[in-house]
Amino acid sequence: MDINQYLVLAIFAGTILALVVTDKRPSFIFSSSLLALIASQQLVIGDVFNNFTNQGLITLVLLLLVSSAVDKTALIKRLGRTLVTASFNASYWRLFGLTFFSSALLNNTAVVASLIGPVKQNQYHHASRLLIPLSYSAILGGTVTLIGTSTNLIVDSFLIEHGHPGFNFWDFTLYGLVAGLSCGLLMFLMTPLLPAIANKNTEYKSYFIEADVEQDCELIGKSVEENHLRNLPELFLIEIARDGKLITPVTPEVVIQSGDKLIFSGNIQHVGNLSHIKGLKLFAESNGLLRENLTEVIISNRAQIIGKSLKALGFRALFDAAVVAIRRDGESLSGKLGEIKLQSGDFLLLATGPDFMQRHNLTKNFFILSEKKVETKLSRLQEWLTLGGFLLTIALAATSVLNLTTGLLFFMAILVIGGVTSNNEIKRNIPINLIVVIVGALSLATALEKSGVITQIMQLIGPWASSVSPIWALVLVYVLTLILTELVTNNAAAALMFPLAYGLVQTLGVPIMPFALAVAFAASASFISPYGYQTNLLVFSASNYRFKHFIKFGLPISLCYSTIVLSLLKYSYGL
């Protein structure tokens, strides 16, 4: 090996070491590796630009942008409220089914993030007995289709980079369905092994939030329990104002009626879960001002509005703003939002109109603290446009009528025209860190091949490779990828292991597809560590789990999953 090959190999080894032993973000590590390759003249800028235009990468970015728009719809949130019931068995299978099948088409991290709240908030079972299965269900569901997880698309981008046409939409489905449903059954049988631990306390300031039950509200005629109003994430129904009287405390048997005012206390970041309930209108919505960007203010000690209610003030006309929620530290609020008399030090969350900042009376009454973002609901037409357009795009791609990248590009344009998303929102949602990881990994792979390192490695292991059965070479690739994904991240593991898999394929003269699938499935098989996959990290942070809980529950799942996938690959490709 010459000096250039040793240099590339050192950068490759340093990248893996940094991913394993440091707490630096993968994007930082891969960007550092990329700069090192350019500085040492192992790559030129043109090589890097070629990787930025990789079709697999473009498809992945478009899919993530579209998924963020689909996540605005009420579908997952509405289903999430109804998941957990008094029966643990029914709750488990509902949770598994929704998570598994939705993760096959939607971003599985977004699915888990949407469902963590209802699971934590449920009144029947310890959340710790459901959160790990929630994460694993999303991982398993993501392996069913090409678009189920970014890992599959990353391996697809490597295939395209090496002149292969890439995966078809359904190439993963047989393996993902058999392995996923089998592991789902095994998880159900193993749920007694999961700990029953108290929920982790989430620190947030509780706001006082009011919502009106309109005549067409889907809650009318059903009890609080039947409406699953106790399963809303970090929002608690504390009172109901009805016919001039307050119902408090609110018992599960109370039936919701038209004209009720529901009074909630909780985390304002989750107020979007109320706006997704059909016929339930927030206080600011009735004033026509609820927007995505909200302004938090505190009432000053010399404010002219102290001692007056919102209703008496004519708050909307006075400030061109509507109050979404109120918080008063050290005191519990009660009654209708519009009738609460304001005090110095009250925190108000305001939905503001275009003239708000030009009003001369602001500084006399408020100290403006910050802007907060909440998710606003889509209209029914926008929801149908988003869900229907997404499913149509996927169906056309799955039947090879339309190229997936082309379909996503046109669908994104339709979402912008339909007002579902905006240019500014698209800019905010571009996954810069993931792009850097993929481009850095593609560039590292390019350097390994361009410098001849892969050729040298294959020459070293050539005698072994020529004498070993292809199935054992496949097992080697799978196991190395599996170990790496538990130590680093799924995307990094797939990106770093593909060049080795491709080199083995060239040496053995066998088809690339089983090895590419092995890398993709192994990179997603993060069941033993809470740090290898984003969904694991989400549920780990949401509860009081320890590392041992993932090892104890995840090791049998990993063995089952790996055995099924490798067996199916062996028989499918005759290895």
> 479-500: per-residue pLDDT in tens?
999 998 888 778 778 888 888 8
231 in a structural domain: yes
What secondary structure letter does DSSP report for 129? G
Of 331, 358, 373, which marks where a domain is finished? 373
Using the predicted structure, report yes or no on whether residue 288 has a pLDDT greater than 60: no
pLDDT of residue 91: 92
Higher pLDDT, 555 or 529: 555
Write down the residue that tokens 């009106």 correspond to. 212
Residue 259 shares a structural domain with residue 300: no
pLDDT of residue 569: 94
pLDDT of residue 95: 93
DSSP 510-536: --SHHHHHHHHHHHH---S-SSSSHHH
Quick one: average pLDDT of 214-232? Answer: 85
Write down the residue that tokens 């090879």 correspond to. 400
pLDDT digits 0-9 by tens, 74-107 = 777 777 777 888 899 999 999 999 999 999 988 8
Per-residue confidence at 199, pLDDT binned at 50, 70, 90? Answer: low
Tallying the residues shown for the chain, one arrives at: 575
Using the predicted structure, report yes or no on whether residue 291 has a pLDDT greater than 60: no
Residues of the chain with pLDDT > 90, as a percent, come to 21
Residue 242 shares a structural domain with residue 310: no
Residue type, 121: Q
Rounded CA-CA distance 80/95 in Å is: 8
Using the predicted structure, report yes or no on whether residue 286 has a pLDDT greater than 90: no
What phi-psi label fits residue 431: left (phi over 0), alpha (psi between -120 and 50 degrees) or beta? Answer: beta
pLDDT of residue 130: 93
What secondary structure letter does DSSP report for 345? T
Residue 261 shares a structural domain with residue 324: no
402 in a structural domain: no
pLDDT of residue 323: 83
pLDDT digits 0-9 by tens, 326-385 = 888 766 677 777 888 898 888 888 888 778 888 888 888 888 876 665 556 677 788 889
Rounded CA-CA distance 43/444 in Å is: 9
Quick one: average pLDDT of 275-282? Answer: 79
Residue 320 shares a structural domain with residue 356: yes
Residues of the chain with pLDDT > 70, as a percent, come to 94
Of 373, 404, 421, which marks where a domain is finished? 373
Q: Which helix (H) or strand (E) holds 433?
A: helix 432-450
Higher pLDDT, 529 or 411: 411
Domain of residue 336 covers 293-373
* Residue 128 token pair: 């710790």
252 in a structural domain: yes
338 in a structural domain: yes
ω into residue 249 within 30 of 0, thus cis?
yes
Rounded CA-CA distance 132/255 in Å is: 34
246 in a structural domain: yes
Candidate from 387-391, 435-439, 450-454 with smallest mean pLDDT: 450-454
In the chain, the number of structural domains is 2
pLDDT of residue 113: 80
Using the predicted structure, report yes or no on whether residue 501 has a pLDDT greater than 80: yes
Per-residue confidence at 293, pLDDT binned at 50, 70, 90? Answer: low
Residue 303 shares a structural domain with residue 338: yes
Using the predicted structure, report yes or no on whether residue 429 has a pLDDT greater than 70: yes
555 in a structural domain: no
Residue 261 shares a structural domain with residue 303: no
3-state secondary structure of 216: coil
Residue 300 shares a structural domain with residue 240: no
- CATH code of 233's domain: 3.30.70.1450
pLDDT of residue 51: 79
- For residue 524, the tally of other CB atoms under 10 A from its CB is 31
pLDDT digits 0-9 by tens, 36-57 = 988 888 888 888 888 788 777 8
Q: What is the pTM of this model?
A: 0.75
pLDDT of residue 141: 95
Residue 299 shares a structural domain with residue 362: yes
Residue 298 shares a structural domain with residue 245: no
Residue 304 shares a structural domain with residue 368: yes
Using the predicted structure, report yes or no on whether residue 563 has a pLDDT greater than 90: yes
Quick one: average pLDDT of 114-124? Answer: 81
pLDDT digits 0-9 by tens, 157-183 = 888 878 888 888 889 999 999 999 999
pLDDT of residue 372: 60
Average predicted confidence (pLDDT) for the chain: 84
Rounded CA-CA distance 239/264 in Å is: 7
379 in a structural domain: no
Residue type, 305: I
Of 266, 281, 310, which marks where a domain is finished? 266
199 in a structural domain: no
Beta bridge partners of 209: 264, 325
